[in-house]
Chains A and B, each alone.
Chain A
Amino acid sequence: MPAPGSVPKVELRGVKKRFGDKVVLDGLDLVLQPGHSLVVIGGSGTGKSVMIKCVLGILRPDAGQIFVDGQELTRLSGRARDEVLKKFAMLFQGAALFDSLPVWENVAFGLIQGRGVARAKAKDIAIQKLAKVGLGADVAMLSPAELSGGMQKRVGLARAIAADPDIIFFDEPTTGLDPIMADVINDLIISTVKDLGVTTLSITHDMVSARKISDHIAMLYKGKIVWAGPTAEIDHSDNPFVDQFIHGSAEGPIKMEVRA
């Protein structure tokens, strides 16, 4: 039982998820404290995105519990569940912008559709949020297809912060960007997080980004968290999985499943 005042923002207990015969999450436990910036690292295909999608209510876990602010999300349904899910925002791996809508409507989408804000007002807010991620009002009328990958990530970030969420999830925020743009995105994440005072959960296999944007790190391997601790301790974790991963070595306990 957690003591009052230290209720975790998000907690996963024994979460399991499989697709057919393939077990992806195998009794995963994870705690995200309020105000923390936690990064979950792990190899490709270890189920990092699946984990986040379980918390976001996009996938239903097969077993286990997920708590948000002490409320058991996995037991809620209907309006109560929607209310809890409104605390979340997400920056997707590929930005996932709606390509049928102009940039500003992408950013304003959650306000207009989810919260019933009038379009004119939502547009003003969208332009403010775009400014926060370093994009001018001229970008607002463009279509997402006209933007570069880095700009799409920025618009995705603007969309994520538009409805003033409590918790933001970042799925591989820097993957597929050049190192300089990756650093720009890292800085943007840090500044918006500080600005809004939100709790964040990010997943990445980019260690540079992980060190920069996190204060805590957890490592996912074979459907379980094998190590969790403050970012400062990652270099002396004494955990062979973590050591192998941060040094990017092929030798170690992690065996890549290479199939022809």
Chain B
Amino acid sequence: MNVFAAIGRVTLGFFRETGRLSLFTADSVTGVVRPPVYWWLIAQQMMRIGYFSLPVVGLTAFFTGGVLALQIYNGASRYGAESFVPVVVLVGITRELGPVIAGLMVAGRVAAAIAAEIGTMRVTEQIDALTTLSTNPIKYLVVPRLIAAVISMPILVAIADSIGVFGGYIASTQSLGFNGSVYMNNTMNGLTFDDVSSGLIKAAVFGFIIALLGCYNGFNSKGGAQGVGAATTNAVVTSSILILAANYLLTNLLFTK
């Protein structure tokens, strides 16, 4: 096996895949602005992407907020800075952990479900059938999911932020001996528009990534049940990695001025 040939093949494969994903993205984004708009499908997808993700996202946010409070207390108490716990929990949750945890959980749930559903439609020729019935599959399948995810994720993250801060509050008042109203006061005083809004911008971007990669992998699955399985795994892995990479870029962009 020639090492250079192998490297070349991998590199070419990478660029081919990137190119295809870019074309797919361009198609999908232009689909958003062209009529018709499938309102009912958007509403349906918001239920599936946003509403049904609430329990799992809420639970993870709650525990993450609690753990965050415990660990920050541990660190801060070495310098007698315990009073910073509420605001550090707030900043940590709203800027980073809220959007990232919600993004990863939704990637696991929703990107997988989208890829499996669209992949099955691909291998059973349902996507071809859409074309023969004068319906553009990108607009019928991809666009509603993209719009729904971009709208739902910020709402989901706003809720996750509140629950996460609440988790920190519970941990601090139950295990760390904080006074409840003092904790709440500190949190409210520390609350800034920028912290919250930057998290919500991230959430919208993550929603876009999740829906796009779910759809893309589903559209390109081939070869029966096994192909759909591979597409599903790929959708979760690639969207999770892209979420973490995008998070780094966005943090750079939003916070280093």
Task: Using CB atoms and an 8 Å cutoff, list the residues of chain A in contact with chain B.
Answer: 53, 56-58, 82, 85-86, 88-90, 92-94, 96-100, 109-110, 113-115, 159, 163
Residues of B within 8 A of A110 (CB): 133-135
| Cα–Cα, bound, A129→B159 (Å) | 48
Supply 5 A–B pairs (Cβ within 8 Å), ascending by A. Answer: A82-B134, A85-B134, A90-B129, A99-B126, A113-B135
B131 CB-CB contact with A under 8 Å: yes
Q: A56-B128, A113-B134, A113-B140 are in contact. List 15 more A-B contacts (CB 8 A).
A: A57-B131, A85-B131, A90-B129, A92-B125, A92-B128, A92-B129, A94-B124, A96-B125, A97-B126, A98-B121, A99-B126, A110-B135, A113-B135, A115-B134, A163-B134
Nearest chain B CB to A118's CB is how many angstroms away? 14
- Beyond A94-B124, A96-B124, is A113–B129 a contact (Cβ under 8 Å)? no
B132 CB-CB contact with A under 8 Å: yes
Residues of B within 8 A of A109 (CB): 133, 135
Residues of A within 8 A of B124 (CB): 94, 96
* B residues 23-77 in Cβ contact with A at 8 Å: none
Closest residue of chain A to B139 (Cβ to Cβ) is A113
| Cα–Cα, bound, A215→B115 (Å) | 43
Chain B contact surface mostly: helix
- The number of inter-chain residue pairs (CB within 8 angstroms) is 52
- B110-140 CB mask vs A (1 if < 8 Å, else 0) is 0000000100010011101101111100001
Closest residue of chain A to B128 (Cβ to Cβ) is A58
* B residues 137-156 in Cβ contact with A at 8 Å: 140
| Cα–Cα, bound, A90→B126 (Å) | 12
Residues of B within 8 A of A92 (CB): 125, 128-129
Give me the 8 closest cross-chain CB pairs, A-B, nearest first.
A114-B134, A110-B133, A96-B125, A96-B129, A90-B132, A113-B135, A92-B125, A58-B128
Query: Contact at B134–A96, with CB atoms within 8 Å?
Result: no
Query: Contact at A56–B132, with CB atoms within 8 Å?
Result: yes
Closest residue of chain A to B132 (Cβ to Cβ) is A90
Query: Contact at B125–A114, with CB atoms within 8 Å?
Result: no
Residues of B within 8 A of A99 (CB): 126
Nearest chain B CB to A39's CB is how many angstroms away? 19
Closest residue of chain A to B120 (Cβ to Cβ) is A99
Residues of A within 8 A of B131 (CB): 56-58, 85
Closest residue of chain A to B38 (Cβ to Cβ) is A113
Query: Contact at B125–A93, with CB atoms within 8 Å?
Result: yes
